[in-house]
Chain A
């Protein structure tokens, strides 16, 4: 990205903040609990003195990464199984299509009944819905690999395992990466939701706590932190992808499809 584009992007954000500040400061908006951006910024030091913002952020970050990691592992294995095996698709695809549209948040009460107010509840709430994007894009990525590649593998007389490892899985890698990125944003959302309802820790709980204590400036500051966490996680994942898949990820067409969502 060019410096000029970065500058224009930041300019857009500045304009939005300016408008917000103007609306609140001029008294156009008369909500009692809508603080101005300046007031939110002024409350930030308090997060560090009176609140455990570092510990809370680390909790949410840890839960998101752990839940995402478990979901990616499960999604990769199941997605590969469904992608490679027509039998697995015949038996499993209907279940996937049935479970996938289920609203993720509906799981929270069920998880709470089973595991109480605990990290286990939080992880269950994160993991199950986060599996889907990984599973589906892994399966689609494998099935979308050009049939020609199978011909190539056969004429070069590669074994079945060698074909999967060297040809079909790498061909699916850009799609898998897209799934992993979608899964990361899902995982963060669910971590915050789970902390609001099911596990009183981390950023999600802090947002609810500050709202109930009528500290809207601190509440918005926490919301901002959650947003920045999402940006950083996504950027980290993109960097990791470039590192792991130098050939696949830098290809113009692969970048176009991998950065679409």
Chain B
């Protein structure tokens, strides 16, 4: 008797696995990953700025493709109702889908980032320092991108998405509004603590190497609290998604 590979999984993993399998954007994702990896390896030699641009843009794009696609697929009425009608369907399904999506995200990102870092190691003038900086940035930024996009993908069309987007543009708002309001330095610094940790990812190497001890508190605060904030927003978003997505509301 034949049996489905999905059916051989423990029952709790079948729904998230089937969601990812049936989403089925594998070919474009694999082709995009292969082409980008190849392009970075061929064109990236001697171009440190290009490598850093790849490390900056690849994580959010990969997260958007994988997470945005997977959760948009889940929101389709017939998909959502099939998942929701099962016994013990609940928020755990959402966390498990995030775990599987994270593995897929790593599968996309590792070849691209690995090739970029290897290319940098071969061609950079002062390879060790530049490589350390780029590797630390890639790890921190990869994690931040995944968490940010996951929060938006889960909370999309809901208040959570609005909060997340407003928060992501907070540095821009501060840059424009801050000088005009003539805010005190303490207020500006306090608000900076609430800003997204993009800056923290770029400064992590300097903090760890002791070059910017003054930034330690802010960088550590951002990198430590950011996952907790995202976990809270993800929990709210998943609970709302599980109650009913927009498409199946009456």
Chain A partners chain B: no
- By a beta-carbon cutoff of 8 Å, the part of chain A in contact with chain B is none
- By a beta-carbon cutoff of 8 Å, the part of chain B in contact with chain A is none
